[in-house]
Amino acid sequence: MIHVIGIGEDGLEGVKPTARQLIETAEILVGGVRHLEMVDSEARKISWGVGLGKGIDEIKANQDKRIVVLASGEPLWFGIGATLLKHFEATELMIHPANGSFSLTAARMGWAVQDCVCMTIHGRALESLNRYIADGVKILVLSRDGKSPIEVADLLAKYGYGDSHLTVFEHMGGEDEKRLEGTATGWTAQTADLNTIAIDCKAGTGARCLPLTSGLGDDLFEHDGQLTKREVRAVTLSTLAPQPGELLWDVGAGCGSIAIEWMRAHPTCQALAIEQNDHRRSMIAHNGASLGVPTLEIVDGRAPEALGGLPTPDAIFIGGGISKKGVLEACWNALPIGGRLVANTVTLEAEREMLHFAEKIGGQLIRIAISREEHVGRLTALKPMAPVLQLSAIKE
């Protein structure tokens, strides 16, 4: 049994007697340098090293010995416990959690943890915060380092949330615990590397407000015209029907709007944006970060050639390249049984390919016709957008 023991800023003093005995009798101790230095022991000490690989390899090679892994607070809250579960069976691990940063911060703020967004920017992009910022939302953030509070404050102010109240806790649970408070606008306080941020979001006049539903405003995306428009995008996402943990291929991604909204549907949804144009790939990266999904993976290439070797998708959206022979067939062949295909087009050439393909596989065809209000001199009129033919099918 590999014991994973959470340790707070108070070190071994805060560890339960049973867990402390496991540490004292361990033959091998694995952890970060900070945690290993807390323990006076004759056990062999192994630090994680770059990418955690060294420590994991050492654990696998010494499972016949008494191994204790030292972790921060709650090992399964963005901690090493979650990583170890990818390499070992749950029956091989015994997790001993301590009070972690989320619990301690919520307790000091008087916030119910279940009412807070709990996230980390340690080892993750700062822009991950963008998907959660909204008026009245309370967010608990595990920091990367001492610069994180300033970076978070600048990000909030950038999108109109400069009035948000920030509380930063340093070295919680230890003798050096410190609390700093202020608003995002004008935040300049220097903080220790070990800190946690509590954000009480407050939207100012003109703040960016991102809806929870699909169909974000077109103006929220940087694009060159290759954009699935808001109304059509909402219908398309509804047809794609994202589920937790699923992977989407966005083929001919343009500015990435479909892939981005797919990932925003649930934190575990993933997407590959496949796009051959350099400038558009740059826009996809910008849009993904701006809208809170910086982990969107971008593939340089054109279907069907670029599809080989990609991980198996649960759903595929084709927004460009349908008129090219073989694209629809290659995407359909890449889907597993139960996989979903949705394709949109506005050109006659692509419609011919789509209709011919639909005759072979079945599915459903719908025509989406949208008109938008536009000014005509001093008056207004409804101007039709290019009608979209959409094919959707489930592989059986």
Contacts of 66 (CB under 8 A, 6+ apart): 22, 25, 26, 27, 28
Residue 10: what pLDDT?
Answer: 86
The CATH number of domain 102-200 is 3.30.950.10: yes
Beta carbons of 271 and 250 less than 8 angstroms apart: yes
Residue 226: what pLDDT?
Answer: 86
Q: What is the mean pLDDT of residues 234-246?
A: 98
CATH of domain 2-99: 3.40.1010.10
Residue 28: what pLDDT?
Answer: 94
Strand partners, 368: 388
Phi, psi of 3 (to 5 degrees): -95, 125
Beta carbons of 156 and 182 less than 8 angstroms apart: no
Beta carbons of 230 and 253 less than 8 angstroms apart: no
Please check the confidence at residue 291 and state whether its pLDDT lies above 80: yes
Residue 350: what pLDDT?
Answer: 94
DSSP character string of 287-323: HHHHTT-TT-EEEES-TTGGGTTPPPPSEEEE-S-TT
- Single out the residue of 66, 71, 78, 117 nearest to residue 97, CA to CA: 71
| R_g (Cα) of the chain, nearest Å | 25
Distance CA 344, CA 395 (A): 18
Q: Where are the domains of the chain?
A: 2-99, 102-200, 218-394
Residue 320: what pLDDT?
Answer: 87
Please check the confidence at residue 53 and state whether its pLDDT lies above 90: no
pLDDT in tens, 197-238: 999 999 999 999 999 999 999 999 999 988 999 999 999 999
pLDDT in tens, 152-179: 999 999 999 999 999 999 999 888 999 9
Residue 124's pLDDT band, with cuts at 50, 70 and 90, is very high
Q: Name the strands in the sheet holding 44-47, side by side, starting at the edge strand that comes first in the sequence.
A: 44-47, 28-31, 67-72, 2-7, 93-96
∠ CA 221-224-227, rounded to 5°: 55
Residue 13's pLDDT band, with cuts at 50, 70 and 90, is confident
> CA 19: distance to chain centroid?
34
Residue 14: what pLDDT?
Answer: 87
Beta carbons of 109 and 103 less than 8 angstroms apart: no
Q: What is the mean pLDDT of residues 183-191?
A: 94
Please check the confidence at residue 51 and state whether its pLDDT lies above 80: no
Q: What is the mean pLDDT of residues 367-394?
A: 95
Distance CA 145, CA 124 (A): 12
Distances (CA, A) of 25 to 34, 40, 46, 47, 371: 20, 11, 16, 18, 73
Q: What is the mean pLDDT of residues 261-266?
A: 97
Amino acid type, 272: L
State the chain's mean pLDDT as an integer: 95
**Beta-carbon-side half-sphere exposure of residue 237 (alpha carbons within 13 Å):** 24
Beta carbons of 323 and 347 less than 8 angstroms apart: yes
Collapsing DSSP states into helix, strand and coil, what is residue 138? strand
Please check the confidence at residue 318 and state whether its pLDDT lies above 90: yes
Please check the confidence at residue 84 and state whether its pLDDT lies above 80: yes
Distance CA 351, CA 50 (A): 51
Q: What is the mean pLDDT of residues 282-289?
A: 97
Domain 218-394, CATH homologous superfamily name and number: Vaccinia Virus protein VP39 (3.40.50.150)
Q: Say which range, 46-60, 164-178, 250-264, 277-291, has the weakest mean pLDDT.
A: 46-60
Please check the confidence at residue 116 and state whether its pLDDT lies above 80: yes
Collapsing DSSP states into helix, strand and coil, what is residue 156? helix
Contacts of 193 (CB under 8 A, 6+ apart): 143, 145, 146
Q: Say which range, 11-25, 37-51, 215-229, 325-339, has the weakest mean pLDDT.
A: 37-51
Specify the pTM: 0.91
- Single out the residue of 99, 134, 143 nearest to residue 116, CA to CA: 134
Distance CA 294, CA 270 (A): 11
Residue 49: what pLDDT?
Answer: 74
φ/ψ region of 221 (left if φ > 0, alpha if ψ in -120 to 50, else beta) reads: beta
